Amino acid sequence: MSTQESPIELVTAFEKDVYEGLTTFPKFLYSKYIYDKTGDELFQKIMELPEYYLTRAEFSILKNNTAEIADIFEHPLGFDLIELGAGDGKKTRIILRELLERSAAFSYIPIDISQNSLDELVKNLKNEFSDLKVLPQQGMYFEVLEKLSSYNRRKKVIMVLGSNIGNLLHPKAISFLKNIEQSMSASDMLFMGFDQKKDPQTILNAYNDSQGVTADFNKNLLYRINRELDGNFQPEKFTHWESYDPETGTAKSFLVATEAMKVVLKKIRLTVEFEQWETIHTEISQKYDDNTVAWLAEQAALRIEKIFALDNKGYKNYVFKK
Ligand code: AVJ
């Protein structure tokens, strides 16, 4: 049960989405809102955790196949390397270094919603690679992609690393891929990381680490709501819970209320009631296999051109063309 004492204009997307998520049954919040400054920092910590194998897995794939990946990317007339959700660029650096050593003609176009992380990234890249052409673009993936495809420039290589697509359920993942496909021409390619189905315990551990960093990351949603919507959540009264369904490959994160309580979000004049053990669904991290990726690609009119896999097949990077 939730009540809004008097009507109020919900202005920002965050306000609207929080209002909707906490007045719907069962309650949910979008994981994209975890990533404010604190959330970004916690995610950096997650990537260092012994249990969070994804980052190291993709790092090894890029490291073990650098030359071949650079061969696939390169084009005699030059190309644009466009990265959606560039983050700290730690993995991308491997490829950038190789391309620069070959004196490949290319620009690196990192796209991110956060101007802060873009500024940081560009500063670091300029330091390390003085010859790199970096053209950062702040914005939502699709707006920027549309803008870039309307230039109709040289070959585009679009990169989405980190199994970021895993935050989307299949129907949304297909729209995402379709959007990318629409911005591509015949010579363009899409290079994407997909975390794979594996021992369910390994997956559960990756999203429920022993130091509790992932729990803090998840609870940052509540802290952020407190900060930005003048809320009085008591995050310590919620427990982080992870589930993984080995049949569908869907890992889900929840925050579970350990007691009945009322929470007030003053800024949007919303009172939210929780029953004991009531849940807020906060994130999905989808795991894949080759058949599922092939199906997603087909739905989006893309074809798989090449697969790079980790030795134990626990993580894969796919090259798609249209
Ligand atoms: C950045 C979406 C790939 O789902 O593995 C890490 C985010 N959430 N630990 C993932 C995340 C909890 C991550 N992605």
The tens digit of pLDDT for each residue in 59-99 reads 999 999 999 999 999 999 999 999 998 888 889 999 999 99
Nearest CA among 268, 315, 260 for reference residue 293: 315
137 lines ligand 1 (CB under 6 A): no
Find the 206 Cα to ligand 1 centroid distance in Å: 9
Per-residue pLDDT, 150:
73
Under DSSP, the state recorded for 234 is: -
Per-residue pLDDT, 285:
98
CA distances for 170 relative to 75, 175, 287, angstroms: 32, 9, 11
Atom 4 of ligand 1, residue of closest alpha carbon? 285
State the pairing for strand pair 79-84/106-112.
parallel
85 lines ligand 1 (CB under 6 A): no
Tell me the sheet residues that pair with 156: 80
205 lines ligand 1 (CB under 6 A): no
Find the 162 Cα to ligand 1 centroid distance in Å: 8
Find the 151 Cα to ligand 1 centroid distance in Å: 32
Q: Of ligand 1's atoms, which has the minimum distance to the CA of residue 54?
A: 5
Find the 231 Cα to ligand 1 centroid distance in Å: 25
What ipTM goes with this model?
Answer: 0.99
Q: Of ligand 1's atoms, which has the minimum distance to the CA of residue 163?
A: 3
167 lines ligand 1 (CB under 6 A): yes
Prediction pTM value:
0.94
Under DSSP, the state recorded for 163 is: T
Q: Of ligand 1's atoms, which has the minimum distance to the CA of residue 251?
A: 4
Both tokens of 168, joined, read: 């989307």
Overall size of the chain counted in residues: 322
Quote the CA–CA distance of 309 and 40 in Å, as a whole number: 27
Per-residue pLDDT, 6:
59
Find the 84 Cα to ligand 1 centroid distance in Å: 15
Per-residue pLDDT, 139:
85
Per-residue pLDDT, 4:
57
| Residues 317/61, Cβ–Cβ less than 8 Å | yes
Per-residue pLDDT, 232:
98
275: CB partners within 8 A, 6+ apart:
257, 260
Find the 9 Cα to ligand 1 centroid distance in Å: 32
Quote the CA–CA distance of 223 and 228 in Å, as a whole number: 9
Find the 223 Cα to ligand 1 centroid distance in Å: 18
The tens digit of pLDDT for each residue in 133-165 reads 999 998 887 778 787 777 667 999 999 999 999
Percent of the chain scored above 70 by pLDDT?
97
Q: Of ligand 1's atoms, which has the minimum distance to the CA of residue 162?
A: 3
Q: Which regions of the chain are under pLDDT 70?
A: 1-7, 151-152
Per-residue pLDDT, 1:
55
Per-residue pLDDT, 147:
78
| Residues 71/98, Cβ–Cβ less than 8 Å | no
